Amino acid sequence: MLAVIMAGGRGTRLGRGEKALVQLDGIPMVKRIVTAFSNAGHTPLVVTTPDTPYTANYCRAHAIEVYQSKGAGYLSDLTETIVTIEETEAFFVAAVDLPCLSCDTISRIETEYRDSGLCACSVWVPVSRYKELGVAIPVPYSEEIDGVMSCPAGINILRGDSIRYEQQELKLVLDEKGLLFHVNTVEMLNLAFFFLSSENPYPDASHLIVNSLKTGKRTYP
């Protein structure tokens, strides 16, 4: 399945240059998410914009397929990409700022999607997880799904032949820690760093993150 990775953000809130190239343990976020989809058996395509020329250059230099959109906005750029490449089958679309996304989670999403028989799938995470970590949810929208207040995780499955239309979707709530970390602020960068650190004996590192946010001390190098 095609995996479209949206990488048009300039990363202004992070203040570290183009968001896709921000590194965690020396690995750019775009490389991490490309590797996750590749390991899950999918074909990554990174979508850049005129605002992210270095991301496009990085992808070309590392043999990662890239498409430069016009930069008209997330949905417009996605539609432009799918129409231009003439994709008609189901495909993944994900934001590049999910460096903790695992290939196992990707495979689980695909299985749930195919079992549903629906055209599309949106993935959600419980809002309570962010409250436990003491940080605000990274997106401005949440809703109750099957009795659980949830917010979008930034990864979906859509059909290319219906890209211009509303698609009946499975709303899939996953309590997967790797889906929590949208790295668009320094707070989330710190959180993702602790989660990925091989030296961290606590998988969610919540006690470290909450402490670092309360003290205001930047723990990411």
- In percent, the amount of the chain with pLDDT more than 70 equals 87
Q: How confident is the model at residue 11 (pLDDT cuts 50, 70, 90)?
A: low
Residue 221 lies in a domain: no
- Residues 63-74 have pLDDT tens digits of 999 999 999 999
Quote the CA–CA distance of 40 and 7 in Å, as a whole number.
20
Q: How many CB atoms within 10 Å of residue 160?
A: 18
Residue 27 lies in a domain: yes
- Residues 145-195 have pLDDT tens digits of 999 999 999 999 999 999 999 999 999 999 998 999 988 888 888 888 888
Residue 75 lies in a domain: yes
Residue 215 lies in a domain: no
Contact 17/107 with Cβ under 8 angstroms? no
Alpha carbon of residue 47 to chain centroid: 13
Q: How confident is the model at residue 210 (pLDDT cuts 50, 70, 90)?
A: very low
Q: Region 26-44: what's the mean pLDDT?
A: 96
> The domain spanning residue 161 has which CATH number?
3.90.550.10
Whether the pLDDT of residue 221 is over 60: the answer is no
Quote the CA–CA distance of 96 and 68 in Å, as a whole number.
15
The strand ranges marked E within 49-102 are 66-68, 90-95
**Number of domains within the chain:** 1
Residue 118 lies in a domain: yes
In the prediction, which pLDDT does 209 show?
43
Quote the CA–CA distance of 57 and 7 in Å, as a whole number.
12
Contact 152/95 with Cβ under 8 angstroms? no
Contact 161/86 with Cβ under 8 angstroms? no
Residue 207 lies in a domain: no
Whether the pLDDT of residue 24 is over 80: the answer is yes
Whether the pLDDT of residue 203 is over 70: the answer is no
Q: How far is CA 197 from CA 93, 100, 151, 201, in A?
A: 26, 11, 26, 9
- pTM here is 0.87
Residue 34 lies in a domain: yes
Residue 111 lies in a domain: yes
Quote the CA–CA distance of 90 and 158 in Å, as a whole number.
5
Domain containing residue 72: 2-126+151-184
Helices (H) then strands (E): counts for the chain: 7, 10
In the prediction, which pLDDT does 166 show?
94
